[in-house]
Amino acid sequence: MVTTAREPDTVRAILEQVVDPEIPVLTIGDMGILRDVTVADDGMVRVVVTPTYSGCPAMDLIRDEIVDALAAAGIDRVTVDMVFSPPWTTEWMSDRAKEKLRAFGIAPPGSTAGADPVLCPRCASASTRTVSEFGSTACKALMVCEHCGEPFDRFKEI
């Protein structure tokens, strides 16, 4: 395969295929994990990502998938750098992403500033309670709906 210099937007479009392995309805762009894409004059592509939680085990896989997705498009000179600052926040998640989360059955994060009521992603009832602050992944809490009785995950505001 031949490496060709690409525009950052082209590279970004390719990276739209890369999804969060824990929440496959969201791309890394939706999540706000993808921070920057630059293409140097010599064609070297630099992708900058930031972790959601310090111990997120998906980060290594995401890094591999970025490299694989670009390689499949003929771009094989790639570095993936991880930056910590500024720290990732759920405020970077787009409204489109939050709606996709809800449709997937995960209550999306509210504002980090206020105490938004958590609505059940199935029946939209506000009558919900926290079962545990820690759920199936670092970013989620375990909730239950008092109205429809269904348990569900909530993406925690951070």
Partner 1 sequence: MDTITTSRPLATYLIRHGDDNLVLAQRLAEYISWAPELEEDLAIANIALDHLGVAHHLLAYAASVEGDGRDADALAFLRSEREFTNLLLVERPNDDFAVIMVRQFLFDAYQVPLWEALAGSADTTLAGIAAKAVKEARYHLRHSRNWVVTLGDGTEESHRRTQHAFDELWRFTGEMFVGDALDTDMAAAGIGVDPASLEAPWRRTVLEAIADATLSEPEDTTVRVGGRSGFHTEALGHMLGEMQWLQRAYPGLEW
| Contacting positions for partner 1 (CB under 8 A) | 51, 53-57, 83-88, 131-138, 142, 156, 158
Nearer to partner 1, 24 or 86 (CB): 86
Question: Min. distance of Cβ 52 from partner 1 in angstroms?
Answer: 9
Nearer to partner 1, 83 or 123 (CB): 83
Question: Min. distance of Cβ 136 from partner 1 in angstroms?
Answer: 7
Give the residue carrying structure tokens 């390719």: 14
Question: Min. distance of Cβ 75 from partner 1 in angstroms?
Answer: 26
Nearer to partner 1, 2 or 115 (CB): 115
Long-range contacts of 24-30 (CB under 8 A, 24+ apart): 25/100, 25/101, 25/103, 25/104, 26/97, 26/100, 26/101, 28/62, 28/66, 30/93, 30/94, 30/96, 30/97, 30/100
Nearer to partner 1, 53 or 104 (CB): 53
- Among 99, 139, 107, 98, CA closest to 125: 107
Question: Min. distance of Cβ 82 from partner 1 in angstroms?
Answer: 9
